[in-house]
Structure 1
Amino acid sequence: MSTHIYGTKYNPTDVQIKTWSVQRTLDPLVAQVTSLISDQPSNKKKGRSKRAHLLVANVIQAIENFINKASEIAHENPDMRNDLLQCMEEVKQTGDEMAVLSKEFADDPCSKPKRQQMIVAARALLTSVTRLLIMADLVDVQLILRSIRLVEDDLQRIHDASNQEELVHFYKQYGKDIIDLSQHAQRRQQDLVDRMEQENLAAARGTIKRTSIMLLTASKAYLRHPEIPYARENRDFVYNQVRDAVGVISSITQGRPIPPTQLLKFDSSLSTVGDLTRALNEFDHIVMMKPQKFNEQIIRPQLEERLESIISGAALLADSLSTREDRRDRIVHECNAVRQALQDLLDEYIQYSRKKSSEENVNIKIQTMQTKTRDLRKQLRKAVVDHVSDTFVATNVPLHALIDAARRGNVQLVEETANIFLEHASKLVEVANVACSMSDQVEGIKLVRLAAMQIQHLSPQVVNAARILAARSTSKVALENMDVFRDTWEKHVRLLTEAVDEITTIEDFLAVSENHILEDINLCIQAMVERNPDRVDRTAGAIRGRSGRVIDVVTSEMEKYEPGEYTEGVMESIRVLRDQIMPCFVERIKIAIDTLRMRSGCDDGKFELIEQELIEASSSVYHGIRDIRNSVLMNPDLEWPSDDDEGLNDEIYAQSQTSSHGPSSDSQQPDLEMYPGKNDNPSRDMMRRLPKEEREQIELQVEGFKKTKRDFEREVLKWDDRGNDIIVLAKKMCMIMMEMTDFTRGRGPLRTTMDVINAAKMISECGSKLNKIAKDIAAQCVESQSKSDLVAYVDRITLYCHQLDITSKVKADVQNISGELIVSGLDSATSLITAAKNLMNAVVLTVKASYIASTKYRNKSGNKEPIVQWKMRLPEKKPLVLNERQNESNSRTKKSTVKKRLEPLHVLILNVKFHCLSINNDRYASYLYYVLCHEHHEEKLKDKWKQIWLKPVVHALDTSTPLHRFLIAEYILPKILKGHPEYLQDLKEITVNPRTLIVCTRIGRILDLCPNIFSTFSLIEHNLIRQGITSEDEQHFIRIKDSWLLCARQKLKNIDQDFANLTERYRTYLKCLINWCCSHLYLEGSYSQRHLSILTLHWLIHLHGNEGIQTVCRKYFKSNLFQEKIKVFFIHYRKI
């Protein structure tokens, strides 16, 4: 073992590879040697393997390259010259031995002893080359250690500085050296193989970046005021932070374990799932067991013990100060329900073991158990959000109070505010840990705990900085130090807030925030009634803080979505609250507080007017928050709250602006009392409280509506609505129908029966506009079946709009007689959903027929411009390469790190998560894709190549939109198959999708990669041909059934049983289909039959080439005239 400069030790027996650069450099030599000594059959096609002597020459050349490069490195680094030369000599010896033995083996490849000798020599060669690479890697280590030594010297000089001039001089040098060290450490971090070492190194870099400016200001404060002990504590804290971070970089660079004193509290426990979540997950897993494995003596105590531990944790959360009383009652209720469900399940297991129950009953009890634990989870999550909503509001107020007291020089007040500040910081950390306990997002939990730990360490030093400023309130150095610590604190609090928001769901946060704002509004109004200005000011501040939090959280959430109607609606609700409602509320609060403090100058009438205005402004704030929540919940991916959740029973909707058309004027009644349940129209509330049987009937109808909605989305959302009023109107009608359907379930933005009636009127107006546009399209269409279909579908829209208008007016036939809900109009409720479903079906059919009529059957005689433009909607933008998650988990420095210093090819190969849809619409990008996959193919990793380059293309063809599939088939697939035709069969083996098989076969036929159909050909079943023909032109989908009727008439209905050979079946069916096409080419046939026959022949030629199809067609026609016409047709097709 040799020791180098700066204490680096090298162990010749240690050949562990710790960096990617060494591994990537070694990979080519490993591949060459492995190919030479391998006794396994090659995966390459025969005739392409390299000769053994050529492989030997490649190995020798690679060894020479290693030695030449090592010589250059040894010449540039005299400190390590001897060790490098020793490793080079070892590589040269093992390389020469390998060359001799491999040549002998190449001359006699059947000799087993020679093979064994060569294998031993190859292993020795790889070991020696690895040692040489590790030794070369130590050169980089020496550079980093040299930078570390300079930084350590700078730190010591700063620590020992005796005056301000020396400090500034030493800090400037420290700044230069720390930049150099940070760059070296960043490259080393990206090159490390071990994930934990990467994260520790990132944490150390983040600490250095965060504390560098603090080091300067704290040192200045200590030099200016050495008599204050808090100044020394400040300086020592920052100095130790930087020194420990540099020590971590040194330990990781040298491959040594990090000392406990330097470890930045970064261990695996930070990224574990929360305690309560983990306990609930384990409990659910144990409950899910087969009844045959139940053992009462073992399982019952185990489940009961686990449940009691869960309930104990839930009780601690319920008893916290921030947990509301109603929430506490809900948690207790759910805990009792889980207990009872467990006992019922255990009893059912016992009954099953005694053969007195069935497995079906046990499964029912298991489902009940899971439902109860899910409800308990929901209440616990809401309790956590209670804490988050209360604590992470106005997080900087205690800090500003502390700084304000320090600037005044009031030492006693500083101590009082310091206690408040430390309690607040402790509360932030506690709530963050509570949020982690109910989360299962590992990365989010890690970030939350790291941010909380940093705040915990920083809080006492913020107080010390305030004490320094209080003792020397006129000192600019102390004030500068206080400002730096303040900025650092606020930055960490923002990081913690964002991290906590990431592990809490937006639905829970908005529901809880809405209730908390309602509580604050009630308290504010009560304080106004009691004429207490201080309390009004305090509660109004809470309202402003909570509203600001809602705006920030929702705005941050919307940044995760692609811009669209959904995000625009949410941002519009935010804009209304922020720019219109909140300024009005602030103004009303100011007037109210000024009036309360001038009691003598205000009469009762004026005071009542001001009070009424404040109530109206508060009501607007509450409604604005609810509008934001409703807008967010319009996302179909989010879960609507259940009927028994708070925020749904009485107060979730009021004067909502998220409706497509807005509430009716009749429904906008004055909202003078903010208490829930006092101002809603009873119609929707009664719909929520219908008996279970009636609600089940409505839910059954809604499920059918949802299926129709999915069909609607599949057909309509693929079109771009710019320049297409049909799509715009269809989307608007769908949105309104969804709101009306939600109303029947007691949900959605429609509040009253008048809102439903107005929604029906809006649908009628949209239907009339759609009717007019569709009739204009029909007028430009030639006389055809498509025109007749379009007119018929438009008439359906008129009919269903009228039906929807009628059912909406009798919708609210719900009465409350003697305390019992009597639903005399339940049929009209289901009729409303049925009418909406029928209307949506008619809209879908109209969109299809309008497309066909306006693009396939337009009257060419006129010069009119098309009424609407039919363009496919552009795909969402996605990155070319999806980089793996960054490793800097505990600091924001991860956003500023640069990419690895790799060649572009290796970047794409290492990050194999490639989505080809992002480059399909660019020919140059598709060429880049082909070049990269071709270069990677040359590295002779066939299996990896297929996984990286072929599979994403096939996946996109299977699942993407028609426009994407067209672009892939047009640009990417032909280039790949032209360069590597042998992969056509691999493409077909990857997928089972008929459409993709058709596309691959067609492209192979166009490139002359497929043999003739009537000799040997790749097997494709006949139903794929049918799909390939019909999927490209939907207007012929119904008419193609005639070909199947022809096959039935020719006794081919049971074709699978008549022929055992798939090839023969396919040939037989194909001949029948060609004959059917030829039979409809005579002039006696209809236009549509001739058109369909030519279209079918067109696609068959695409699939199987010209010659085979032409031969069958010539045999069908006996007339020489028709044979000549067919010949001309195929010649013309070949020219096209």
Structure 2
Amino acid sequence: MKQTTLTDNQTYKPNMAAEKPLEQNTLEIRTKSIEQTLIPLVKQISTLVTHRERPLCSERSLRAVARVGQAVNLAVERFVTVGETIADDNLEIKDDMYEACKEARAAGTAIEKLCEAALEDSLTDRGAVVRAARCLLGSVTRVLLLADVVVVKQLLLAKDKVARSLGRLESVTNFTEFVKAFSQFGAEMVELAHLTGDRQNDLKDERRRAQMAAARQVLERSTMMLLTSSKTCLRHPDCPSARENRDTVFCQMRRAMDLIHYVVKDGVLDSVARLASCTVMFQKDDWEVSRTVSASLKQFEDLVEMTRLTLLGPDSKERLTQALDTIVERTQDFTDSAYTSHEHRENILLLCDRAKLELNQLLRVGKLLQEQTEGSSPTHEMEQAVVTLLQAIRDLRHQLQATTMAQAADLTSVINAGRDMVNVIRNVALASDTDRLVECADKFHEYIEHILEVCKLLRHIACTDMLQVSAKYAEINLRIYGPQVVTAAHTLSIHPTSKIAKENVEVFADMWDALVSDVTAVAKDVVDLCGRSMDDSKQVYMSLPRPGKHGTTSKPLKPVRLDSEEQAKIAKAGLEMKLITSEMDAETDKWQESGAGGTALEENNDIVKRAKNMSSMAFSMYQFTRGEGALKTTQDLFTQAEYFAEEANRLYKVVRQFSYQVPGGIHKKELLENLDRVPTYVQQLQFTVKNPTVGKAATFTKVDNVIQETKGLMDVISKVVTTCFTCATKVSNAVLIHCQELT
């Protein structure tokens, strides 16, 4: 871990909403560098835990365990020493950092002692090593996250320097002061570009990474416009259009820096008062671009799929109806567009009506099922209603994609016409033909509005976070900077002999050209991805067995094998899953050794059997994260995850039957609370497994999600099994007392 200190002399005033101390249980890793720092420790602990569960039949093996324990403790000691050094240089994290270092040091010492105990053959509780390992991972992660707070602080200080430089540039009144201020601004921009570039590459979250790239791009492209618009404003201080050009650039650059703050602080807004002074206001929803048709369709499909497990509960009708209403509301961007053909508009409206009818049918079937039976299994009629509704939603998605692709096909001609119009506007401005300039400006704004409409639809149907962000910021930047070409031309028409005014028009025209090139690139990526998605849907969905009866994993055409670097990235999640598996194995061993729950022998044996099956499957998935075991490709992993989810569903039903025998009380309440969480985790894992992927990057993301969701489900199952043991003991004791009373 690289030591990081602050050398800036200026006082840093943090946003109080953003500077809350790290919560003990909130250790989300958002950067790749922290993951990479954890990997060596993960490997050491993984070796240790795996070794402790093998028979130690030789002195050599015992000594190897002791050496691993010593190595872990020594590495932890070096690690926390660096952490404490960072704490000494940064008082705002000092207490939290020292506490985390203390916990890490204690866990490292405990692991060393436990490993030394193996030499004396006194280590009887293998769970102790697992618990110490989990504690060590948590505390080390906490140290890294606190160190990351310091890195964030440096970046925000660099951003604040640039903001102050912008303020000085905005207030200068002569060229001499401007040249001096712009020189300082340039140096500080270089530092900010370096820090934000490093942060962008380090971020794990695709959406945040794309947002940071968008902010950096605005700052980079706006620098030249800031130079020419400021010089034009200084040369022609009484010209309103020159001032508008300059103020727009300042406002957009400040907005970009606010976005940097927002990304770095992971969703905390900054400079609200300053934003209010900008010509165009943007809210948090402009930065979080998930309010799309694609997102609402996915949410609705998830809710419909969930009814297969939960049936139609009391709140299902309201949730499903509201989710479909959201879809219909968002399709209005397609039907209201002046560039949507009559045929496409009618098809969208018909498909929305069809989805409403199919939903009503599902709700009717669900209501009848609730009235007629108390069972928990869906009927064939309900299954058919679910399938029909999902097909209607898929057809609606394909129609929306087709509508967007049709509009995107006209994009090239519109952009070319816009480029030609820019040339005309430039020539008209040089000729000081004000009336003609107004006519050309109106036509140019029509082209801009057309392109903006296409951007809006592209964002709605974009399948990935990166494309959604790219489409959104292409739209925002074009809306702000596009009309400024005309504004710059007005200045030139008033001062046709001004060289700086002419240069300013050229710079804004270059920005226009860059922005429409961005739109073209985004459109190509979105259309290509949607085209493949529509083809895959035809190949996959038509060949699936009936959902609910068999596995529904949509297998990719070519299984993917992860390389060593990708396996290392998911090693931490795999190890955490392995630790949970070890704890559950210890619980099932305890159950079998004690013979708990004699009165419910069949159910209890089935609980143990299902739990051990799940533990075995989770272990094979853990081995996959290390490049070992029987699972060789990602498809092998997905198939195993599917079986894992199905086994969890079977265990859920067995435990539900067992719970009826448990007397009321705190233990039964705890059992039911944990048990009720299982269907949600099962459904989420099944959704992830059957979600088709395109490309290796998407496949790797899917692998990571499958491991994380399997780990979450395993954690819940472990709690269920533990509580079952306690409840079974209570049942056994109650029966024993009853038998004694009878005799």
Structure 2 vs 1, CA of residues 26 and 160 (structure 1 numbering), >3 Å: closer, same or farther? same
Structure 2 vs 1, CA of residues 170 and 432 (structure 1 numbering), >3 Å: closer, same or farther? same
Give the superposition deviation at 1:23.
5.2
Residue in structure 2 matching 1:503, options 526, 550, 573: 526
Secondary structure class of the residue paired with 2:627: helix
Give the superposition deviation at 1:946.
4.4
Residue in structure 1 matching 2:182, options 151, 171, 177: 171
Contact 1:465 1:482 in 2 (8 A): yes
Secondary structure class of the residue paired with 1:412: helix
The yes-or-no answer on 1:910 pairing with 2:588 is no
Give the superposition deviation at 1:949.
3.2
Higher relative contact order (CA 8 A, sep 6+): 2
Structure 2 vs 1, CA of residues 397 and 165 (structure 1 numbering), >3 Å: closer, same or farther? farther
Cα deviation, 1:46-91, whole Å, max 9, x if unaligned, reads 54354565355425532553477579x77xx996599989978996
Structure 2 vs 1, CA of residues 471 and 339 (structure 1 numbering), >3 Å: closer, same or farther? same
Write the letter of the residue equivalent to 1:203. Answer: A
Show the counterpart of 1:394: 414
Show the counterpart of 1:949: 627
Show the counterpart of 1:708: none
Give the superposition deviation at 1:383.
4.2
Residue in structure 2 matching 1:404, options 427, 435, 447: 427
Give the superposition deviation at 1:222.
1.1
Contact 1:507 1:638 in 2 (8 A): no
The yes-or-no answer on 1:414 pairing with 2:414 is no
The yes-or-no answer on 1:65 pairing with 2:78 is yes
Q: Distance in 2 between matches of 1:131 and 1:348?
A: 50
Residue in structure 1 matching 2:293, options 275, 289, 301: 275
Structure 2 vs 1, CA of residues 156 and 128 (structure 1 numbering), >3 Å: closer, same or farther? same
Structure 2 vs 1, CA of residues 300 and 133 (structure 1 numbering), >3 Å: closer, same or farther? closer
The yes-or-no answer on 1:322 pairing with 2:339 is yes
Q: Distance in 1 between matches of 2:305 and 2:246?
A: 55
Give the superposition deviation at 1:211.
1.3
Give the superposition deviation at 1:409.
1.6
Q: Distance in 1 between matches of 2:416 and 2:327?
A: 35
Structure 2 vs 1, CA of residues 145 and 449 (structure 1 numbering), >3 Å: closer, same or farther? closer
Write the letter of the residue equivalent to 1:461. Answer: Q
Contact 2:155 2:195 in 1 (8 A): yes
Q: Distance in 2 between matches of 1:247 and 1:319?
A: 32
Cα deviation, 1:696-723, whole Å, max 9, x if unaligned, reads xxxxxxxxxxxxxxxxxxxxxxxxxxxx
Contact 1:105 1:111 in 2 (8 A): no
The yes-or-no answer on 1:236 pairing with 2:247 is yes
Give the superposition deviation at 1:214.
1.5
Show the counterpart of 2:502: 479
Structure 2 vs 1, CA of residues 12 and 119 (structure 1 numbering), >3 Å: closer, same or farther? farther
Cα deviation, 1:884-921, whole Å, max 9, x if unaligned, reads xxxxxxxxxxxxxxxxxxxxx75773389xxxxxxxxx
Write the letter of the residue equivalent to 1:420. Answer: K
Write the letter of the residue equivalent to 2:417. Answer: V
Secondary structure class of the residue paired with 2:269: coil
Residue in structure 1 matching 2:67, options 54, 57, 81: 54
Cα deviation, 1:683-702, whole Å, max 9, x if unaligned, reads xxxxxxxxxxxxxxxxxxxx
Give the superposition deviation at 1:227.
0.8
Contact 2:219 2:253 in 1 (8 A): yes
Give the superposition deviation at 1:878.
13
Cα deviation, 1:114-150, whole Å, max 9, x if unaligned, reads 9999999999988887776566556645654564455
Matches within 5 A, 1:405-444: 405-437=428-460, 443-444=466-467
Write the letter of the residue equivalent to 1:227. Answer: D
Contact 2:218 2:256 in 1 (8 A): yes
Contact 1:881 1:911 in 2 (8 A): no
Contact 1:221 1:478 in 2 (8 A): yes
Q: Distance in 2 between matches of 1:116 and 1:240?
A: 58
Structure 2 vs 1, CA of residues 951 and 450 (structure 1 numbering), >3 Å: closer, same or farther? farther
Structure 2 vs 1, CA of residues 57 and 429 (structure 1 numbering), >3 Å: closer, same or farther? same
The gaps in structure 2 that reach 5 residues or longer are 276-281, 373-378, 540-556, 572-618, 637-743
Which stretch of the first structure deviates more once superposed, 95-104 or 267-276? 95-104
> Which structure has the greater CA radius of gyration?
1
Contact 1:444 1:503 in 2 (8 A): yes
Show the counterpart of 2:606: none
Write the letter of the residue equivalent to 2:519. Answer: L
Give the superposition deviation at 1:408.
2.1
**TM-score, scaled relative to structure 1:** 0.38
Residue in structure 2 matching 1:189, options 200, 204, 211: 200
Contact 2:103 2:139 in 1 (8 A): no
Structure 2 vs 1, CA of residues 483 and 123 (structure 1 numbering), >3 Å: closer, same or farther? same
Write the letter of the residue equivalent to 2:454. Answer: V
Contact 2:114 2:123 in 1 (8 A): no
Secondary structure class of the residue paired with 2:413: coil
Structure 2 vs 1, CA of residues 161 and 289 (structure 1 numbering), >3 Å: closer, same or farther? closer
The yes-or-no answer on 1:158 pairing with 2:169 is yes
Show the counterpart of 1:897: none
Show the counterpart of 1:219: 230
Structure 2 vs 1, CA of residues 387 and 252 (structure 1 numbering), >3 Å: closer, same or farther? closer
Give the superposition deviation at 1:94.
8.5
Give percent identity, aligned residues only. Answer: 24
Give the superposition deviation at 1:468.
1.5
Q: Distance in 2 between matches of 1:210 and 1:381?
A: 32
Write the letter of the residue equivalent to 1:54. Answer: R
Contact 2:163 2:254 in 1 (8 A): yes
The two structures, once aligned, show a CA RMSD in angstroms of 6.3
Give the superposition deviation at 1:429.
1.8
Structure 2 vs 1, CA of residues 268 and 878 (structure 1 numbering), >3 Å: closer, same or farther? farther
Q: Distance in 1 between matches of 2:292 and 2:107?
A: 58
Cα deviation, 1:633-659, whole Å, max 9, x if unaligned, reads 9xx98989xxxxxxxxxxxxxxxxxxx
Matches within 5 A, 1:301-700: 317=334, 321-325=338-342, 381-390=401-410, 392-398=412-418, 399-400=421-422, 401-437=424-460, 443-504=466-527
Contact 2:292 2:460 in 1 (8 A): yes
Write the letter of the residue equivalent to 2:491. Answer: I
Matched residue count: 542
Structure 2 vs 1, CA of residues 952 and 186 (structure 1 numbering), >3 Å: closer, same or farther? farther
Contact 2:294 2:463 in 1 (8 A): no
Contact 2:214 2:473 in 1 (8 A): no
Contact 2:258 2:271 in 1 (8 A): no
The gaps in structure 1 that reach 5 residues or longer are 509-556, 561-632, 641-875, 883-904, 913-940, 959-1136
Structure 2 vs 1, CA of residues 880 and 186 (structure 1 numbering), >3 Å: closer, same or farther? farther
Structure 2 vs 1, CA of residues 186 and 881 (structure 1 numbering), >3 Å: closer, same or farther? farther
Contact 1:211 1:238 in 2 (8 A): yes
Give the superposition deviation at 1:451.
1.3
Structure 2 vs 1, CA of residues 478 and 362 (structure 1 numbering), >3 Å: closer, same or farther? same
Contact 1:408 1:473 in 2 (8 A): yes
Give the superposition deviation at 1:42.
2.2
Give the superposition deviation at 1:226.
1.1
Secondary structure class of the residue paired with 1:176: helix
Normalized per residue, the structure richer in helix is 2
Structure 2 vs 1, CA of residues 415 and 352 (structure 1 numbering), >3 Å: closer, same or farther? same
Give the superposition deviation at 1:228.
0.9
Contact 2:407 2:454 in 1 (8 A): yes
